[in-house]
């Protein structure tokens, strides 16, 4: 295997931690869970105000349906439901958790963290709880943070990716309104046995490209005043062409670097769980990633792009189908706003 480009050529600010120190203990995924709202939104419904129909959306994205939350549902509601299913899967009581991390870019409120609501509803009274926001890479960033904490301190943790993008989409913007769905996915982390565990993570941020994906208004730079609403600056925006170029240019080489640093060959990867951004984009990426033995898991056909939830939802679907076998290597590959790339390697 040829050596990939050195770290300094990867761009952005990044941290690679493929190897654990001697003082740290192995941490594994002990259970998974997910939750999708029961409201199914067809391509016809999603694209009606944008002037596009089912055939156009399928050709551009491979998405056929998505789920949108009901008006009374908030991100913490979806996150809590997914968390309960993950806890049941792991056989862990919420009171045993020492940390809860929620990855989301659509929190219930700017303050407090959505994780605080989840912690309370679960009854996880001993768990510290906080949010992370790396947009669609958020779950992998949150997983790396929680795994690092647990590797040092022991105990159990809960990592959740949850988003309700339907609340921030411009109904008339065909580049975005057709892509996104709502949902949540979760994993329980704890002491690893039998060679299982999170083998490593690599987190990359290209902050100079931060405005390619953003919600302009609603923060301290541009508060959500009536003028912002009138101009539509409270909506999610994305430079689709530039985002695609970023992903195709950067993700394959960052994956190759990560595998090299982890002393893992491309043919060792049994499963790829990528961010479910766009089916056409994934087809192009898979060819470039050159993972000859990897089964690529997809849920976007039915669920669309669920932001930070897409990787844990897809992981849960694969796990519950019995598709992941003990000892197999699973590569998680997130990419999204920031711009960011998050990679994690699991020994199942």
In contact, 342 and 203? CB cutoff 8 Å: yes
Q: Is 43 a catalytic residue?
A: no
The catalytically annotated residue of 10, 43, 136, 271 is 136
In contact, 79 and 184? CB cutoff 8 Å: yes
Q: Is 325 a catalytic residue?
A: no
Distance (Å, rounded) from C-alpha 307 to C-alpha 276? Answer: 8
Distance (Å, rounded) from C-alpha 25 to C-alpha 23? Answer: 7
Strand partners, 331: 272, 345
Both structure tokens of 8 = 């300094």
Distance (Å, rounded) from C-alpha 253 to C-alpha 148? Answer: 25
The catalytically annotated residue of 204, 234, 275, 297 is 275
Characterize the bridge pairing of strands 197-205 and 13-17.
antiparallel
Strand partners, 164: 182
The conformation of residue 38, written as its DSSP 8-state character, comes to: S
Distance (Å, rounded) from C-alpha 43 to C-alpha 341? Answer: 28
In contact, 151 and 24? CB cutoff 8 Å: yes
Contacts of 221 (CB under 8 A, 6+ apart): none
Q: Is 271 a catalytic residue?
A: no
Distance (Å, rounded) from C-alpha 14 to C-alpha 11? Answer: 8
The catalytic site residues sit at 136, 275, 305
């Amino acid at each position: 295997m040829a050596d990939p480009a050195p770290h300094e050529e990867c761009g952005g600010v990044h941290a690679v931690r493929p190897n654990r120190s001697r003082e740290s203990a192995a941490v594994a995924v002990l259970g998974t869970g997910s939750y999708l709202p029961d409201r199914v939104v067809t391509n016809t419904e999603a694209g009606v105000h944008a002037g596009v129909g089912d055939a156009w959306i399928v050709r551009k994205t491979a998405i056929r349906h998505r789920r949108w939350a009901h008006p009374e549902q908030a991100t913490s509601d979806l996150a809590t439901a997914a968390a309960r299913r993950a806890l049941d899967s792991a056989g862990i009581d919420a009171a045993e958790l020492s940390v809860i991390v929620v990855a989301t870019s659509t929190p219930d409120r700017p303050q407090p963290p959505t994780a605080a609501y989840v912690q309370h509803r679960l009854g996880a009274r001993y768990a510290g709880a906080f949010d992370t926001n790396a947009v669609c890479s958020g779950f992998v960033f949150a997983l790396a943070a929680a795994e690092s904490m647990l590797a040092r301190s022991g105990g159990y943790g809960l990592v959740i990716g949850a988003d309700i993008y339907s609340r921030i989409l411009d109904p008339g913007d065909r580049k975005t309104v057709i892509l996104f769905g709502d949902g949540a996915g979760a994993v329980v982390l704890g002491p690893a046995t039998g060679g299982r565990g999170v083998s490593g993570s690599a987190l990359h941020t290209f902050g100079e490209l931060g405005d390619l994906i953003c919600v302009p208004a609603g923060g301290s730079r541009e508060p959500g005043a009536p003028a912002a609403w009138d101009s539509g600056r409270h909506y999610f925006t994305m430079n689709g062409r530039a985002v695609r170029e970023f992903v195709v240019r950067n993700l394959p080489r960052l994956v190759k670097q990560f595998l090299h640093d982890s002393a893992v060959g491309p043919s060792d990867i049994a499963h790829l769980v990528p961010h479910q951004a766009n089916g056409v984009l994934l087809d192009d990426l898979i060819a470039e990633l050159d993972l000859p033995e990897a089964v690529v898991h997809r849920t976007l056909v039915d669920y669309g792009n669920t932001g930070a939830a897409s990787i844990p939802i897809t992981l849960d679907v694969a796990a519950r189908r019995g598709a992941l076998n003990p000892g197999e290597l699973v590569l998680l590959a997130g990419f999204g706003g920031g711009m960011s790339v998050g990679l994690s390697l699991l020994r199942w």
